[in-house]
Chains A and B, each alone.
Chain A
Amino acid sequence: TQLLEQSPQFLSIQEGENLTVYCNSSSVFSSLQWYRQEPGEGPVLLVTVVTGGEVKKLKRLTFQFGDARKDSSLHITAAQPGDTGLYLCAGRGSGAGSYQLTFGKGTKLSVIP
């Protein structure tokens, strides 16, 4: 079973601060995705990273896939209250069953105005 350790579990910061969320595993993933979930709703995909060392930017959010494709990070610059939510990383294996996602436990972010 592939496991994804996500940290921190909870994060409360002031508006304008920067933050980084980490997603680590001992397993290699063919791709890694980051989702954001609002209360009472299902997760929504933010980004998919596939290549080791890949960096993707989505406005103030920067996503990086580790060189060995075992870890990833999400960095938010100048956090806004609208960034509040649950952030989930999810890894996809390779070969048979590669359509299955393994999710981390999530990081609950609160951005205080």
Chain B
Amino acid sequence: DAGITQSPRHKVTETGTPVTLRCHQTENHRYMYWYRQDPGHGLRLIHYSYGVKDTDKGEVSDGYSVSRSKTEDFLLTLESATSSQTSVYFCAISQSGSSTDTQYFGPGTRLTVL
């Protein structure tokens, strides 16, 4: 298994509070991604990174920000959590971004916003 960890694995928070999710990899892969998975919507890309300090928006980036100060860490921040951000969040990594590249997924973080 690819060395990807996510923390925390579960979190319950209240509307309006800031939340930061962490993704850590030991594979030295260049690309990192944050997805959310919701019933009826599948996996949707929030933000991705193609190198240290190089990030870009995905399909559902509103209300989220990211940072990548080191190759191994990719942080996802909800500045002011809302109930619509209740979801399961997955981090993924990939090596080259080519058409045959494999994305390896972490175990996920289940976030509940009350």
**Bound complex: CA of A30 vs CA of B104, how far in Å?**
19
Q: In this complex, which of A6, A92, A99 has the most chain B Cβ atoms within 10 angstroms of its Cβ? A: A99
A43: chain B residues within 8 A (beta carbon)? 43, 90, 105
Does A50 sit within 8 A of B, measured CB to CB? Answer: yes
Interface size class of B (residues with CB under 8 A): 20 to 34
Task: Tell me if A100 and B45 are in contact (CB < 8 A).
Answer: yes
Query: Per a CB cutoff under 8 Å, which of A6, A42, A88 touches B108?
Result: A42
Q: How many positions in chain A have a CB within 8 Å of any CB in the partner chain?
A: 25
B→A interface (CB under 8 Å): 4, 31, 35, 40-45, 48, 50, 58-59, 90, 92, 94, 96-108
Sample of 21 A–B contacts (CB below 8 Å):
A31-B100, A41-B107, A41-B108, A42-B90, A42-B92, A42-B105, A42-B106, A50-B99, A88-B42, A88-B43, A99-B48, A99-B96, A99-B101, A100-B45, A101-B45, A101-B103, A103-B35, A103-B43, A105-B40, A105-B42, A106-B42
